[in-house]
Amino acid sequence: MSNKQLYFLGSISPVGYQTKFSHLINKINYYTYILKGGPGTGKSTLMKKVVAEFDDKNQELFYCSTDTSSLDAVIINDLKTIIVDGTSPHVFDPIYPAVSQEIINLGEFWDNNKLLPHKEAIIYCTDENKKCHSQAKRYVRAFASLNSNIYSIAYSCILTDKLDGFINRLVHKLFPKGEKKHGEIEFRQISAFTSKGYITHPIADDYRIYTLNDDFFAGSDYFLKSISDIALKRGFKIIISECLALSSNTYEHMLIPELKLAFISCNFFNKLKIDGEKAINFNRFYDKETLSSKKQKISFDKKACLELALEASSAITTANDIHRKLEEYYVKSIDFDSLNIATQKLINNIKRKI
């Protein structure tokens, strides 16, 4: 792992595909290139060439949750430049065209005459792909509903005084003294449903990691929201990764870049095993007697969740297989010489900012 932080552009959720990348496109003084074009038109390849060209710069890489090898966006912070795939399911368009964002249309490099003979197959594959994603959404919705049951039960069992005391002691230890103002919060997706299951990207090597071991979600969510409130009042920029495996607005992970601190949730479905600086066991922050009375229901919900997660991943895998078939049609129609010229032109435009 390097010092480049990896994310997902978004993830399937109980309401379908979700991403909060739009607010990053609106970052002050950043310029965004929005790539348009069908599957297999070279969007990911273009971004990977840009990443390699500016490898020495501070970069954030955003991958596709359906195809985890495919790059969906890159932010080059040193150059205040963003490049993002703006096609479905994550459709983005310029808000301030030519001054803050512009579209690069990779569709202009395909030959329609090579695609038209495959019209029926392309339409069929596109429709089947959508059906698979809809199926995955239904599994995730059921998955989230059960997890939300667990969360609700656990939230009523949190020993808030004990947890608040621990949070205050930890903040005193980790945060510099003194009050600041104007903290900033941004959202990134560190974890997502994929064809390989519920995956969490590794944290950059230069971060100190605190693992939040909590199979009930509520205590770690309470912890992260409390820490985030304090960090914002102290003037820190924080990065929040929400848990799309629950129906509510639940915090799962948090990064504080200025302090190189990471708080990463570990639970029964993400199955994370991280050698962090400190492991925080949240069992001690729950009323054990009350939780124990709900043990059978929680156990049932957990087991059902794991089965639903497997079905969701299976549907995503099928969708990904269909997407690759679509890519085969488009790849054969692309003028890659012209695409390479356009890629180099983009790289040259970015270099002008150095």
Q: pLDDT tens across 5-30, in order? A: 999 999 999 998 999 999 999 888 99
Which is nearest to 254 in space by CA: 278, 292, 226, 274? 226
- Mean pLDDT computed over every residue of the chain: 93
- State the pLDDT confidence band at 275, using cuts at 50, 70 and 90: confident
Is the pLDDT score of 330 beyond 80? yes
pLDDT tens digits along 193-222: 999 999 999 999 889 999 999 999 999 999
Q: How are the residues of the chain apportioned to helix, strand and coil, as percentages rounded to the nearest 5?
A: 45, 25, 30
Instruction: Say if residues 240 and 228 touch (Cβ distance below 8 Å).
Output: yes
Label the pairing between strands 184-187 and 101-105.
unpaired
Whole-number pLDDT of residue 291: 93
**How many residues appear in the chain?**
354
**What is the average per-residue pLDDT within 171-179?**
85
- State the pLDDT confidence band at 352, using cuts at 50, 70 and 90: confident
Element (H, E) at 201: none
Cis status, amide bond into 117, omega within 30 of 0: no
Whole-number pLDDT of residue 353: 77
Is the pLDDT score of 281 beyond 90? yes
Which stretches does DSSP call E strand in 78-225?
81-85, 101-105, 184-187, 191-194, 197-200, 208-213
Residue 264: CB partners within 8 Å, gap ≥ 6? 190, 200, 203, 209, 210, 211, 212, 253, 272, 274, 276
Is the pLDDT score of 180 beyond 80? no
Is the pLDDT score of 163 beyond 90? yes
Residue 183: CB partners within 8 Å, gap ≥ 6? 231, 232, 233, 234, 235, 236, 237, 238
Label the pairing between strands 237-242 and 251-256.
antiparallel
Whole-number pLDDT of residue 128: 97
Residue 277: CB partners within 8 Å, gap ≥ 6? 208, 209, 210
Q: How far apart are CA 340 and CA 137, in angstroms?
A: 36
Q: How far apart are CA 8 and CA 12, in angstroms?
A: 11
What is the token pair recorded at 284?
């001690």
- State the pLDDT confidence band at 1, using cuts at 50, 70 and 90: very low
Would you give the end-to-end CA distance of the chain in angstroms? Answer: 26
Is the pLDDT score of 247 beyond 80? no
Whole-number pLDDT of residue 26: 83
Instruction: Write down the pTM of the prediction.
Output: 0.93
Is the pLDDT score of 292 beyond 80? yes
pLDDT tens digits along 108-154: 999 999 999 999 999 999 999 999 999 999 999 999 999 999 999 99
**What is the average per-residue pLDDT within 341-350?**
95
pLDDT tens digits along 62-112: 999 999 999 999 999 999 999 999 998 999 999 999 999 999 999 999 999
Tell me the backbone φ, ψ of residue 181, rounded to 5 degrees: -140, 170
